[in-house]
Structure 1
Amino acid sequence: MLIPAQVWLVVEPVDMRLGIDGLSAHIQQALGRPPCDGTAYAFRNRRGSRLKLLQWDGTGVWLSQRRLHQGHFRWPNADDRLFTLTQAQWQWLIAGIDWQRLEARPMGHWKV
């Protein structure tokens, strides 16, 4: 699998029966973005145990799927339809680790 430079998480769950065309149409119609803009889009099912990644590599489209046997993928609880991740956060996410808890708060929020 290609390692994406930028990953956008589609916050709302999707039907995992969708393939390349269905997910591309979802990106265009529901999110108003071009699916072949060089970024990768990650989708999850309602239970959060399956993930699909749609990625354009300049020549064609890749569709990868990952399933966790235990637990679920940690997804943001955002009001936005899309949420972007760094490469490090993406690696933690696909490993099934809570990537949201891996970064410390800035020093300004700490009180003694």
Structure 2
Amino acid sequence: MLSLPPSVRILLAKDAADMRKGFDGLCQLVRDVLEEDPFTGHLFVFRNRRGDRLKILYWAGDGFAIWYRRLEKGTFRFPSPNEAETTSVTVKAGDLLMLLQGVDLSSVTRRPRYTREAI
């Protein structure tokens, strides 16, 4: 089970990333491509061109951590960004969990839920 506080955003990078990149290379992608601050504590998710490898970069309070996953069969299907999201797609923790389990998020039907309007 993936348990994250509601303040943590999860951003899926739209474009493929070089999976040879480590901490510094992924931080640079977060700054330059996603135009975000890597020290925020948010999760930044990158996949390779074939879609069978995934890296998640996050700031753990006293250093960076990378979570890496390679599939032996199949691919990760990222949702396509809308007009407002040009470089990344923001998803919820449940969506990330489904994505890691192989669910295509475009085929998921969501029921209407209450959302509080921003003040």
Do the structures match in fold with TM over 0.5? yes
Q: How far off is 1:3 after superposition? A: 4.9
Q: How far off is 1:77 after superposition? A: 2.2
Gaps of 5+ in 2: 113-119
Gaps of 5+ in 1: 107-112
Which residue pairs with 2:56 in the alignment? Answer: 53
Q: What amino acid sits opposite 1:89 in the alignment?
A: D
The SS at the match of 1:51 is: strand
TM-score normalised per structure 1: 0.84
Which residue pairs with 1:27 in the alignment? Answer: 30
Which residue pairs with 1:38 in the alignment? Answer: 41
Q: Distance in 1 between matches of 2:92 and 2:25?
A: 26
Tell me the number of residue pairs that the alignment of Structure 1 and Structure 2 aligns.
105
Q: What amino acid sits opposite 2:99 in the alignment?
A: L
Q: How far off is 1:58 after superposition? A: 1.3
Which residue pairs with 2:96 in the alignment? Answer: 90
After the TM superposition, list the runs of 4 or more consecutive aligned residues in structure 1 that deviate by more than 4 angstroms: none
CA contact 1:68–1:96 (8 Å) conserved in 2: no
Q: Does 1:18 align with 2:14?
A: no
The SS at the match of 1:28 is: helix
TM-score normalised per structure 2: 0.79
Q: How much is the aligned-residue C-alpha RMSD, in angstroms? A: 1.8
